[in-house]
Structure 1
Amino acid sequence: MTRVRVREAQVQQLLPGPLRMIVVAVLLLLVGAPMAYVGLASVNSDLDVVAGEFWPSHLVLGNYVSIWSTVDLGSGLLNSFIVCGAVALTCVAVSLGSAYVLVRYAFRGKAMILRGLLALQSVPGTLLVLPVFVLFASTANAVGVQIIGTRWALIVTYLTFALPFSTWVMVTYLRGLPAELDEAAVIDGATPRQILLRIVLPLSWPGMVVSGIFAFLLGWNDVLYASVLTAPDTRTAAVALQVFGATQEGGAIPPYGQLMAAALVCAVPVVALYLVFQRYLVSGLTAGGVK
Structure 2
Amino acid sequence: MRRPGRTIAEIVTVAIAGLVAFPLYWMVLTAFKPPGEIQSANPVPWTLAPTVDSFERVLTVSGFGGYFLNSVLVAAAVVVLSVLFSFLSAVALTRFRFRGRTVLMVMLLVAQMVPLEALTIPLFFLMRSVGQAVPAFGLNELGSLVLVHLTFSLPFAIWMLRGFVAAVPVELEEAARVDGASRFRFVWQILFPLVAPGLVATSVVAFIHAWNDFLFAKTFIYTKTENQTLPQAMLVFFKPEENDWGAIMASSTLMTIPALVFFVLVQRRLVSGMAGAVKG
* Aligned counterpart, 2:158: 167
* Aligned counterpart, 2:73: 82
Secondary structure of 1:16 counterpart: helix
Alignment equivalent of 2:142, drawn from 143, 151, 175 = 151
* Aligned counterpart, 1:10: none
* Aligned counterpart, 1:99: 90
* Aligned counterpart, 2:213: 222
- Classify 1:182/1:144 alpha carbon distance in 2 versus 1 (closer, same or farther; 3 Å): closer
Preserved CA contact (<8 Å) 2:237 2:245: no
Preserved CA contact (<8 Å) 2:94 2:162: yes
* Aligned counterpart, 1:232: 225
Preserved CA contact (<8 Å) 1:95 1:167: yes
- Classify 1:283/1:47 alpha carbon distance in 2 versus 1 (closer, same or farther; 3 Å): same
Q: Which amino acid aligns with 1:238?
A: P
State the 4+ residue runs in structure 1 displaced beyond 4 angstroms. Answer: none
* Aligned counterpart, 1:55: 46
5+ long unaligned stretches in structure 2:
274-280
State the shift of 1:211 in Å.
1.1
Are 2:14 and 1:21 equivalent residues in the alignment?
no
Q: Alignment identity in percent?
A: 28
What's the TM-score once normalised by structure 2's chain length? 0.89
* Aligned counterpart, 1:3: none
Preserved CA contact (<8 Å) 2:90 2:159: yes
Q: Which amino acid aligns with 2:233?
A: A
Once residues 45 and 256 of structure 1 are traced to their aligned partners in structure 2, the CA distance between those partners, rounded to angstroms, is: 10
Q: Which amino acid aligns with 2:23?
A: P
Once residues 167 and 211 of structure 2 are traced to their aligned partners in structure 1, the CA distance between those partners, rounded to angstroms, is: 30
Once residues 68 and 245 of structure 1 are traced to their aligned partners in structure 2, the CA distance between those partners, rounded to angstroms, is: 12
Q: Which amino acid aligns with 1:237?
A: L
Count of residues in Structure 1 that have an aligned counterpart in Structure 2: 267
Q: Which amino acid aligns with 1:110?
A: R
Once residues 269 and 54 of structure 2 are traced to their aligned partners in structure 1, the CA distance between those partners, rounded to angstroms, is: 35
State the shift of 1:144 in Å.
7.3
What's the TM-score once normalised by structure 1's chain length? 0.86
